[in-house]
Structure 1
Amino acid sequence: MCGRRGDALASHPTHRLAARSTRSRSSDAIPSTSLTTSLPTTTNNSSAAAAATTSSSSSWSASSIASLRGSLPEKPIIFSPAEIASATNNFLAKRISSSSSSWRCSLHGRDTVVLQRSFRGDPNAFPASLAAVCKSHHRSIVRLLGASLSADRIYLVYDFVTGASLSDCLRNPRNPNFTPLSSWMSRVQVASDLAQGLEYIHHHSAGGGIVHNRIKSSAIIVTEPHFNAMICHFGAAFLAGDVPEEASASLGKLNRSDSGGKKIEGTRGYLAPEVVAGGAVSRRSDVFALGVLLLELISGEVPVKFKFDQVSKEYRSISLIEMAREVFGEAGLDKEGMQSGAEELDMVEGRRMRIRQWVDRRLKDSFPVEVVERLMGIALRCVDVEAERRPSMIWVQGHCYNGLPVRLLLPPADRSSGNGYEHSVHA
């Protein structure tokens, strides 16, 4: 789930993005497998020949059924606390990262990751909730295999996924000038994968959709060898009781009766304003965090950085969102078209010039500025201060995945007709 392979990726600057394969939106689909076979015609009706044919057919069918059964979702596993303790060497094994309580280990013969969280939910409702989450599958989500409850702790067991975190791919401290996501196509692919995965979580996963509540670049795995993005910690907040069921439909308005003394959990830079103010997390706060991720993909910058002010002699924080808004211009998304034709053209050209200077320089000339502008506009809608004004993930996914034609994603030299790139990304 959370393989830390950033250093390994950085040590191979010649590693290139592999061609993107056509894939289904969800891994729920069962492979098409024929369970019948045509038997050879024979004039020999001996019992031996018939027995041999029947045996061969039965063996083939059994093998096919076994293969089909293996492709179906498994039932969730309720692990015992003793199993979790043994697999993690009584939690003394090396953690995957210093900032999270997670360990890589082997459970039931599988390479897994165990994530520890505080449990605030209802133990009686836990088995049904776990079963619902484990039935949810998507190619952009790390699979949850099972869990264990122990007093006030919950241990979630996920598949281990080989790759590096998106944070390490964008900002490797040992080699800041290198990124495996060195082409615009690779950045758009990650954006598309994340939008599809979060749209599935919000609208198609357990119980009609849940809230993730931990969207951030360190919780996204970029897999090898094709550099597809997968969301970690799916269902963790829901199963741990951090997110009430009604939060899925909530817009995240501040409830004063619940805000007093509430501990704000999350990562600086990804928290929506209403959550910082003490309001409930919701789908719209997830959308806010995704908007920050999109801005990271465009610029390569951290969500919040600190700069020393020579005048005040103090460090001040600089928000990636504020930087993006300044680059995009005060006119914003909803005021375009109110100026005259000449004024609007000047505004657009000025914006695109600022965007060219702001885009991650390691992308070089691999990006068409008009498409960066469009993706940046989507991101800024996602990080709107008002939760009610942020779009749903259905809208975001549609614009990130289907709304950007491949011919616009390529540099001008590659946009010739008849090259197979005239279709949308979805194709």
Structure 2
Amino acid sequence: MCKTKKSTQAIEPRSPLKPRPSKSFSSDPLSGNCSTTGGNNSSYGNFSKSSTSSSVASLKSLRSSLPENPVIYDTSEISSSTNNFLNHRLSSSTASSSWRCTLRGKDAVVFQRKSRTPIDLPDLQQSLSLISRSHHSSLIKLLGASLSGSYVYLVYEFVAGASLADCLRNPNNPSYTVLSTWLSRLQIATDLAHGLDYIHRCSGLGSGLVHNHIKSSSIIVTEATLNAKICHFGTAELCGESRARSKKVEGTRGYMAPEFQVSGVVTQKCDVYAFGVVILELVSGEEPLKYKMEVEDGGYKRVSVIETAREAVKSVGGVRRWVDRRLKDSFPMEVAEKMVQVALECVEDDPERRPDMGRVAGLVSKLFLESQKWAENIGLPTDISVSLAAR
């Protein structure tokens, strides 16, 4: 059985249950004493009705969170909902474009991607039915898909929030970040670790899946709760990326594992590498890769967050100076050093030396608990809600 954040097990009684006389409970709220009386009682009836109403509400909440049957949309339906793809685009790149729309009464986001391998409607439906069995609180729900020629349209639920990249590097106010506490960043790391571990080990396909799009711009930080949700779950499988064997490498600079850049073959260890880069972003606040102008000769120097992290762990106090200054030195030093070490293990050049996500999720969860204990000891609030509104 796959272990997720919430799981339930039914336990069969060892011996048959015998009928018992009905009882009602009365209590003295001042003394705290309870007594039982036989027969039916109005207080018991009220309790029963209240309990039933609560159970119905809980079942409705549970039903809404469970994965639904996947929908194969007609292309005309998607075209109509996006105003023939003329609506304002949420994102656009050489690999994909996306639009927010309403489909069958649901607030959704449609992604258009080109399939890397030939795919027909029966294949799409089969893969979609397998992927739709998966469900995790850190994954954005896949509602359905559509096929038009070599293009695949993937429909996901809309989640209010902002990308992790924008939360860390506000283009309008670089000195401000909504993730201004160490605990908020460890919460993001924990959500991501467990979500990616679920994709690798517990998703609909028996052998697990690869994600192939782990990066800070593909992670949504939800408004108010500051939890992380991973976008594009299922894209690699539905668009043929996990099966493609091509010398043409498509990916985002700074997140691509060395072996992927050589072979173009995506594996779970490639996801681990990208996850490590995201963790280094979280801790430092820096981009994975950038170019800085040299004052002496006017040229540009390539700066990698991986390289700066490796340099930081070599010197005494190096990690403290390397951590995002907007945290104002308010973080547990030992936990920060361990977190950087976990991330550096994930970005080892040799994929065989990288840990699997199960081990990583366990380590990150332990560091999160240590951070919570640190925050409680110094009197910091551990439950914070914020707004992602523009500043």
TM range (shorter): 0.7 to 0.9
For residue 122 of structure 1, what is the amino acid of its counterpart?
Answer: I
Report the 3-state secondary structure (helix = DSSP H, G, I; strand = E; otherwise coil) of the residue aligned with 1:206: coil
1:287-324 C-alpha deviation (Å, 9 max, x unpaired): 00000000000000000110112444321211110111
> Counterpart in 2 of 1:304?
289
Change (3 A) 1:409 1:188: farther
1:253-298 C-alpha deviation (Å, 9 max, x unpaired): xxxxx56xx2211111000011112341100000000000000000
**Percent identity (aligned):** 50
> Counterpart in 2 of 1:17?
none
Is 2:187 aligned against 1:189? yes
Is the CA contact (8 Å cut-off) linking 2:215 and 2:255 kept in structure 1? yes
> Counterpart in 2 of 1:175?
173
Report the 3-state secondary structure (helix = DSSP H, G, I; strand = E; otherwise coil) of the residue aligned with 1:97: strand
Deviation at 1:127, TM superposition (A): 1.0
1:120-161 C-alpha deviation (Å, 9 max, x unpaired): 243232211101111111000000011111111110100000
2:310 counterpart (325, 330, 348) = 325
> Counterpart in 1 of 2:266?
281
Runs of 5+ consecutive residues of structure 2 not aligned to the other structure: 10-21, 25-38, 42-48, 384-391
> Counterpart in 2 of 1:116?
112
2:85 counterpart (84, 91, 96) = 91
1:218-273 C-alpha deviation (Å, 9 max, x unpaired): 000000111000000000111111112xx9xxxxxxxxxx56xx221111100001
Give distance in 1, aligned partners of 2:379 and 2:200. 35
Is the CA contact (8 Å cut-off) linking 2:183 and 2:372 kept in structure 1? no
Is 2:343 aligned against 1:384? no
1:80 counterpart (74, 77, 80) = 74
How many pairs are equivalent? Answer: 342
Report the 3-state secondary structure (helix = DSSP H, G, I; strand = E; otherwise coil) of the residue aligned with 1:125: helix
For residue 110 of structure 1, what is the amino acid of its counterpart?
Answer: K
> Counterpart in 1 of 2:100?
104
1:270 counterpart (255, 259, 262) = 255
> Counterpart in 1 of 2:333?
369
Runs of 5+ consecutive residues of structure 1 not aligned to the other structure: 1-23, 31-37, 44-55, 248-257, 330-349, 422-427
Matches within 5 A, 1:12-411: 25-26=4-5, 67=60, 70=64, 72-99=66-93, 100-119=96-115, 120-123=117-120, 124-208=122-206, 209-244=208-243, 262-329=247-314, 350-351=315-316, 353-406=317-370, 410=374
Change (3 A) 1:138 1:239: same
Report the 3-state secondary structure (helix = DSSP H, G, I; strand = E; otherwise coil) of the residue aligned with 1:146: strand
Change (3 A) 1:121 1:396: farther
TM-score normalised by L of structure 2 = 0.80
Change (3 A) 1:308 1:79: same
1:204-224 C-alpha deviation (Å, 9 max, x unpaired): 112131000000000000001
Is the CA contact (8 Å cut-off) linking 2:87 and 2:99 kept in structure 1? yes
For residue 73 of structure 1, what is the amino acid of its counterpart?
Answer: P
Change (3 A) 1:238 1:29: farther
Is the CA contact (8 Å cut-off) linking 2:23 and 2:40 kept in structure 1? no
Alignment root-mean-square deviation, CA: 3.1
